[in-house]
């Protein structure tokens, strides 16, 4: 069955960097777009970034543009989120989420999330 397993979360100081990874299984990774979505403690869902099936198009929320980079390696079946210049407001559970299509519609599968805490 479809699974997405995030890793790389942890505690980091403001201004620091962190790289999240997502390991998918149970579907043809190279055929689908993938999102990163985050959820701050006790808050709602916030979309972070999306990458097309082939990596040729990437979209970002204004709140992370210029600081975060989404990428994928289809040969390694892995998705990444490089997070730089982290701020306390970036503290959240980060979900890797599979889109239903190659270029973006809705999310049909979610990982269990990895917690990122930005604090001094």
Partner 1 sequence: SYELTQPLSVSVALGQTARITCGGNNIGNKHVHWYQQKPGQAPVLVIYSDSNRPSGIPERFSGSNSGNTATLTISRAQAGDEADYYCQVWDSSDVVFGGGTKLTVL
- Specify which residues 12 forms β-bridges with: 118
What residues between 14 and 43 interact with partner 1 by CB under 8 A? Answer: 35, 37
Using CB under 8 A, pick the residue from 8, 46, 67, 71 that binds partner 1: 46
CB closer to partner 1, 72 vs 98: 98
**Burial track 9-37 (b if 16+ CB lie within 10 A, e otherwise):** beebeeeeebebbbbbeeeebeebbbbbb
State which residue, 24 or 113, has the beta carbon closest to partner 1.
Answer: 113
Judge contact between 95 and 108, C-beta under 8 A. no
Q: Site mask, partner 1, residues 56-85, x = CB under 8 A?
A: ---x-xx-----------------------
Q: Answer for the pair 18, 83: CB distance below 8 angstroms, yes or no.
A: yes
Binding site residues, partner 1, CB under 8 A: 35, 37, 44-47, 50, 59, 61-62, 95, 100, 104-108, 110-113
């Amino acid at each position: 069955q479809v699974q997405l397993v995030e890793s790389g979360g942890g505690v980091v100081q403001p201004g620091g960097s962190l790289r999240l990874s997502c390991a998918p299984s149970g579907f043809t990774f190279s055929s689908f777009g993938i999102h990163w979505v985050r959820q701050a403690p006790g808050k709602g869902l916030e979309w972070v970034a999306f990458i097309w099936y082939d990596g040729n198009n990437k979209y970002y929320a204004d709140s992370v543009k210029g600081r975060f980079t989404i990428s994928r390696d289809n040969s390694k079946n892995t998705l990444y989120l490089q997070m730089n210049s982290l701020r306390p407001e970036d503290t959240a559970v980060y979900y890797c989420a599979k889109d239903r299509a190659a270029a973006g519609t809705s999310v049909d599968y979610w990982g269990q999330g990895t917690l990122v805490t930005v604090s001094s």
